[in-house]
Amino acid sequence: MEIKKYDLVAIGTGSAMLVVDGFLRFKPDAKIAVIDKDEPGGICLTRGCIPSKLIIYPAELLAEIKKADEFGIDVDIKGINFKRIMERMRKIIEEDIKMIEEGLKASKVDYYRDVATFIEPYTLKVGNNIIKGETIVIGSGSKPLIPNIPGLKEAGYLTSDDVLKLDEIPESLAIIGGGYIAMEYGNLFARLGCDVKIIEMADRLLPNEEIEISKAVEREMREIAEIYTSHRVVEVRSGNPKVVIAEKDGNKKEIEADEILVAVGRAPNSDILKPEMGGIETSNGWIKVNEYLQTTIPRVYALGDAIGKHMFKHVANYEARVVLSNILGMRIAINYKAVPHAVFTQPEVASVGMKEREAINKFGKDNVLIGFARMEETGRGLAMKANGFVKLIVKKDGEILGCHIVGKDASILIQEVVLAMQNDIKVSGIINSMHIHPALSEVILWASSNLMSVDDYAKLSKNFI
Amino acid sequence: MEIKKYDLVAIGTGSAMLVVDGFLRFKPDAKIAVIDKDEPGGICLTRGCIPSKLIIYPAELLAEIKKADEFGIDVDIKGINFKRIMERMRKIIEEDIKMIEEGLKASKVDYYRDVATFIEPYTLKVGNNIIKGETIVIGSGSKPLIPNIPGLKEAGYLTSDDVLKLDEIPESLAIIGGGYIAMEYGNLFARLGCDVKIIEMADRLLPNEEIEISKAVEREMREIAEIYTSHRVVEVRSGNPKVVIAEKDGNKKEIEADEILVAVGRAPNSDILKPEMGGIETSNGWIKVNEYLQTTIPRVYALGDAIGKHMFKHVANYEARVVLSNILGMRIAINYKAVPHAVFTQPEVASVGMKEREAINKFGKDNVLIGFARMEETGRGLAMKANGFVKLIVKKDGEILGCHIVGKDASILIQEVVLAMQNDIKVSGIINSMHIHPALSEVILWASSNLMSVDDYAKLSKNFI
């Protein structure tokens, strides 16, 4: 076996590539290796956010079209060409992957399309090569977590990866899990006409969101899908249909479906990467890093899903910038002050920062204010019958601690709050900024101007939780 | 005639009511008169933003539905119930007006539904009353400007006020004007199936926007309406159809239509109010104010359309807050640093701050950078085939001078930039804030990260102007 030495080794072609690109700008003569066992582009492009959003958008359109009648528009949905939706997605993704692949091959970095496994510190086995890196960046991503349910493997199941390969809408689909991947695909398939059944162990869907948000999404989802919360899947039986057996309070429920989608979370790739062989500590398989994103081996950094914190592409991109700075000697600590995320269901969900409970635990009930406004209280929200709301978590001195939105365009509306939080703008900074009347963004202004005590909010929210 | 004396007199029940409400909070025993010749609520509610947005939203839905086919959804628009659209709007507006009216009648202010006319400083004639105010707030709004075109009056025409009374879509509609009111209604009626013909004197639609924005809107509008730019209307002939005669380069064009909508701008109400009788100076009929929104008579303030500056409801509301502070003795100067506006057409337009030319004139070409990104460069924009862009105007030191957006959700996307401008956040503050991937707000991040010289932007934009 040949031993190859590099200045920088990147494991993964997702956000780790930002480190590579940045490193090359500062050190154009550096020797760099880039390794990925899968198609280049990372999870986000090849089997994550991008393909999912490409196929989810038609569901959003369908939801809008179904509301058209309320606005005096008589419209008939004659058919849905699922194959065309999927082909458009695959064409775009394949072109992007090809472009990245060709770029990698044409560049001066050595690109290995192979599995990387640590064999000792700073040293990896990659196919038939031994690769040593002066500095190593681990951006090895994650994979669908498959729970150990009797009969599941035998019955067969889909993961979020497999969904992208479908050419037909299954007649019925049981989804194990109620987190954001489960909900995005559940919403999509239900709106496409599939008989969707969502089985979640927690007592509500999207259990990581504020309870009001979960309930708002659940209300809409119950109109288009069967929802089983507080149900633990205990067994799966093969057959046609397959049968998912879920237990609640000791009672068993048999849920039949043509296909099963497993979406209970993500798992690390440490079983393949074997970071411990490189002296790198992990926690449940996720790579441990300090605030500079260094692993337990000083010149080995890790970012993105691999560290198991905020598994979102925009976070991984940010982490890549921090890693790059630290590699180049500009010591920067990571700051997860304003990390937003969204769930692209109808209604859409977006969230940043602390939830009410976290804020109360940290600062005490008397130091926390809640801002609340409904979209329908704004002119534009009224016009579009936008059925959602904004919940703002504010410290008594005006510092914005968090924001949670459900409803139309939540993923855009939240950005103003993210900017404020990241740049230490207090809630008065939002109130003093003009908001176009009547744009939907007024709902952020109304929530900011409608601050109340935790107790008063509890009385108000009783009606919609 | 009885002479009545008040601590505060408000002329107009639009944003001036915010001054009244605030004044009452501080001085609960104050004697206050509120005067409005029209239904209470102001233009925005009774015949402006709110009713227009209520009826315009279905047009947006129609535009979305027409794109559904591109996303694999086969839909058939079977009919549009215009009457239902209008009735929903009128029901909502009437309920709101009634609520305000009852509120006014039940409150301790004296409410006069009558014309107010100044007769001497601090003194008004209102119906059979003489009303004197210790302090007066003029929020007397504006009205549609009717140009002096031969034959127009005889032929008959609609204004934006009259559109709200329609129960049927005219078969054809000639619109004199190409500003935002003309475009919002032009877009609406064209999408509802009306044969719309827009006649604008300037060489482009929306002549107050950046030229790229005008051109982007014009491209879409030409698909659904006839557009006559650089055409000056010289005559209107009565009949069925009516004939609008417009001149371009000496050539006359006859444009036939069942109805004519006049939307060339707004005019002040000074002909009725006669501010000059109260010692209040005007300019072309608009009331002159200093930076404290004081008129030439010290204890008479003016705000909103009446001062003829930024005729938007969110500006009038802001001005009301400034007036209130000044009346209460907390001297605050007006600050028009970050005044946004939007045009609710498809594509939507939103804008804040300086345009490229203004920035160059003020700071010199070498001190101005342009940031640019297309919506389709973002994952979400690609998913929804969002055909728009963001143009950011930045001073070399990073200060954001302006932002101009055309495309889906422009009115929401701009809010992040408004917040940044209002709170002195530089462009780096946007770049350092996480933007949800893939939300449409990434387009603001891309534009902020893609700054170029004015010359480089000129080369780039050549292709789409």
Asked whether the beta carbons of residue B57 and residue A71 sit closer than 8 angstroms, the reply is: yes
Q: Which of residues 199-258 of A touch B (CB under 8 A)?
A: none
**Structural tokens at position A157:** 């199941």
B54 touches chain A (CB under 8 A): yes
Among A296, A278, A300, residue whose Cα is nearest residue A8: A300
Assess whether B32 and B133 both reside in one domain: yes
Cα–Cα distance, B313 to B80 (Å, whole number) = 30
Cis omega (within 30 of 0) on the bond before A438?
Answer: yes
Altogether, the residues listed in chain A come to a count of 465
List, as ranges, residues 372-391 from A with C-beta within 8 Å of B. 379-380, 382-384
Test the B interface: residue of A441, A442, A448, A449 with most B CBs within 10 Å:
A441
Reported as a pLDDT band with limits 50, 70 and 90, residue B63 is very high
A138-173 tens-digit pLDDT: 999 999 999 999 999 999 999 999 999 999 999 999
**What's the pLDDT at B255?**
98
Q: For the segment B138-153, what is each residue's pLDDT rounded down to a tens digit?
A: 999 999 999 999 999 9
A205: nearest Cα among A182, A189, A188, A173: A182
Instruction: Give the model's pLDDT for residue B115.
Output: 97
Q: B260 and B281 share a domain?
A: no
Q: If you average pLDDT over residues B181-195, what whole number do you get? A: 97
Same domain, B448 and B354: yes
Say yes or no: A194 contacts chain B, CB-CB below 8 A.
no
Residue B390 CA to residue B411 CA, distance in Å, equals 12
CB within 8 Å: A439 and B412: yes
Q: Is B283 exposed, middle or buried (0-12, 13-18, 19+ CB in 10 A)?
A: exposed
A422 contact residues in B (CB cutoff 8 A): 429, 432-434
Helix axis angle, A313-327 relative to A16-26, nearest 10°? Answer: 30
* Backbone phi, psi, residue A171, to 5°: -65, -40
Structure tokens at A220: 């809409």
Answer yes or no: do B64 and A61 touch at CB < 8 A: yes
Structural domain contains residue B334: no
CB contact under 8 A, B73 and A58: yes
Q: Is residue B314 part of a domain?
A: yes
> Does A21 share its domain with A128?
yes
A127 and A192 housed in the same domain: no
From the CA of B318, how many Å to the nearest CA of chain A? 7
Same domain for B124 and B194? no
Q: Nearest CA to CA, how far is B44 from chain A (Å)?
A: 9
Phi, psi (deg, nearest 5) at residue A319: -60, -35
How many other C-beta atoms can be found within 10 angstroms of the C-beta atom of residue A130? 15
Same structural domain for residues A253 and A282?
no
- Largest separation between any pair of C-alpha atoms in chain A: 72
Give A209-266 pLDDT, tens digit per residue.
999 999 999 999 999 999 999 999 999 999 999 999 999 999 999 999 999 999 999 9
Q: How far is CA B36 from CA A34, B11, B21, B289, B400, in A?
A: 72, 6, 16, 21, 40
Picking from A276, A297, A327, the residue at the C-terminal end of a domain is A327
Residue B307 pLDDT exceeds 80: yes
pLDDT category of residue A465 using cuts at 50, 70 and 90 = confident
Distance from CA of B63 to the nearest CA of A (A): 11
Q: pLDDT value at position B175? A: 98
Range of the domain at B132: 2-143+267-327
The model's pLDDT over B355-384, given as tens digits with 9 standing for 90+, comes to 999 999 999 999 999 999 999 999 999 999
Q: How confident is the model over B82-122, as pLDDT tens digits?
A: 999 999 999 999 999 999 999 999 999 999 999 999 999 99
Say yes or no: A138 and A274 in one domain. Answer: yes
Instruction: Tell me the pLDDT band of B57, cut-offs 50, 70 and 90.
Output: very high
pLDDT at A318: 96
Q: What CA–CA distance (Å, rounded) separates A185 from B338?
A: 40
Within a domain: residue A352?
yes
Is the separation of the CB atoms in B130 and B2 below 8 Å? yes
pLDDT of residue A2: 80
Look at residues B270, B358, B362 and name the one whose alpha carbon lies nearest to residue B307.
Answer: B270
Domain count of the fold of chain A: 3
H/E stretch holding B130 reads strand B129-138
* Of residues B85, B340, B439, nearest to A411 (C-beta): B439
Residue A83 lies in a domain: yes
Residues with Cβ < 8 Å from B376, sequence gap 6 or more? B382, B385, B386, B387
**Assigned domain for A334 exists:** no
pLDDT of residue B463: 82
Cβ of B49 within 8 Å of Cβ of A416? The answer is no
From CA B315, how far away is CA B338, in angstroms rounded?
10
Q: How many residues does chain B have?
A: 465
- Measured CA to CA, the distance from residue B155 to residue B441 in angstroms comes to 47
Helix (H, G, I), strand (E, B) or coil at B327: helix
Domain match, B50 and B110 both? yes
* Nearest CA-CA distance, residue A351 and chain B, Å: 10
Q: Which helix (H) or strand (E) holds B420?
A: helix B410-422
Using CB atoms, which residue from A67, A79, A438 is nearest to B74?
Answer: A79
Q: What is this structure's pTM?
A: 0.96
Cβ contacts below 8 Å, chain A against chain B, sum to 244
B85 part of contact set with chain A, CB < 8 Å: yes
Q: Provide mean pLDDT across the span A37-52.
A: 95
User: In CATH, what number is assigned to the domain containing residue A37?
Assistant: 3.50.50.60
C-alpha angle with apex B235: B232 to B241, nearest 5 degrees?
A: 110
Give the minimum alpha-carbon distance from A159 to chain B in angstroms, rounded to a whole number: 21
> pLDDT at residue B464 above 90?
no
> Distance between CA B9 and CA A312 in Å, rounded?
56
* Residue B340 lies inside a defined structural domain of this protein: no
Question: Last residue of a domain, which of B279, B299, B327?
Answer: B327
Q: What residues contact residue A293 under an 8 Å CB cut-off, 6+ apart? A: A301, A302, A303, A307, A319, A322, A323, A326, A334
DSSP string, A336-373: -TT-EEEE-SSS-EEEEE--HHHHHHHH-GGGEEEEEE
Amino acid at A139: G
With respect to residue B333, please indicate whether it lies within any of the assigned structural domains.
no
Cβ of B415 within 8 Å of Cβ of A444? The answer is yes
In this structure, the number of other CB atoms found within 10 A of the CB of residue A310 comes to: 17
Both tokens assigned to B9: 């007199």
Is residue A95 domain-shared with residue A234, that is, in the same domain? Answer: no
Question: Which of the listed residues A242, A264, A286 is the one where a domain comes to its end?
Answer: A264
Q: What is the mean pLDDT of chain B?
A: 97
Cα A461 to Cα A90: distance, rounded to the nearest angstrom: 43
pLDDT, one tens digit per residue, over B158-175 is: 999 999 999 999 999 999
The reply to whether omega before A241 is within 30° of 0 (cis) is yes
Instruction: Please indicate whether, in this complex, the C-beta atoms of A437 and B72 are within 8 angstroms of each other.
Output: no
- Mark whether A110 and A161 lie in a shared domain: no
Residue A431 φ/ψ, nearest 5 degrees: -65, -35
B72 to A62: CB separation less than 8 angstroms, yes or no: no
Query: Token pair of B320, please?
Result: 């009301």
| Residue B179 placed within a domain | yes
Predicted local distance difference test score (pLDDT) of residue A296: 98
Do B365 and B454 belong together in one domain? yes
Task: Give the separation between CA A57 and CA A187, rounded to whole angstroms.
Answer: 11
A135 - beta bridge partners? Answer: A8
| For residue B2, pLDDT beyond 90 | no
**pLDDT over 90 for what percent of chain A?**
98
Domain harbouring A361, CATH code:
3.30.390.30
Distance from CA of A79 to the nearest CA of B (A): 5
A336 in Cβ contact with A402 (< 8 Å): no
For testing the chain A interface, which of B82, B414, B433, B449 should be mutated: the one with the most A CBs within 10 Å?
Answer: B433
What residue of A is the nearest CA neighbor of B89? Answer: A383
Q: Least CA distance to A426: which residue of chain B?
A: B423
